[in-house]
Structure 1
């Protein structure tokens, strides 16, 4: 069994096969941009929550319109939502491309987005429960 990735059907002209591969790689780069953006939102939300949890330990900060926990939850939810939108867009694009590129390699970005989404949900639960 060969370790080479699946190839587009040889019946397609070389220029067409290369164009399809460039398009697939562009979709992967776009998906990774969604992942980076979502990771930033999730990380900032959790970091802000933890920073202010440590800095305000034992101090009465008084009433606020939006507290650090609410702001952190907002950022984390925004990150998870960004991840979901990016994942759905990536899946839609790859399905459309698969019609013309039947031997298309499997996307590794899918696994990364699922893992980061899971981390985002865990961060959300952690902040929500005040851990």
Structure 2
């Protein structure tokens, strides 16, 4: 009854991973960790997929957002898409002045490259109707 009944898809994108088949998971009960039946890693041959953000799991890989949008377009017959979250976290550096904190070149670069890849996906026919930025700072204890 619900198949195909959605009005749009909301996608969150933060990072990408390399994936390798893991047949060991084939005999386990499906869970968040085993459902994909693969090993996920953020590096290959000792090289990270991109620069690491404040969170240990978040690596910057702008091409991944374009790949996700194109995959979704193909797999789900070009649905209306909203990017409901996309962004990067950073360590809260309390030593910066207000002006220095506003000169946030890391975040500017992140959004520039991610939005450039979003624009490429739109040019390739993705029906993207909205984009919401996610901004957070991680407090250092």
Larger Rg: 1
Using CA pairs below 8 Å that are at least 6 residues apart, which structure has the higher relative contact order?
1
TM-score, structure 2 length as denominator?
Answer: 0.32
Question: Which one has a larger percent helix, Structure 1 or Structure 2?
Answer: 1
Question: Which one has a larger percent strand, Structure 1 or Structure 2?
Answer: 2
TM-score, structure 1 length as denominator?
Answer: 0.34
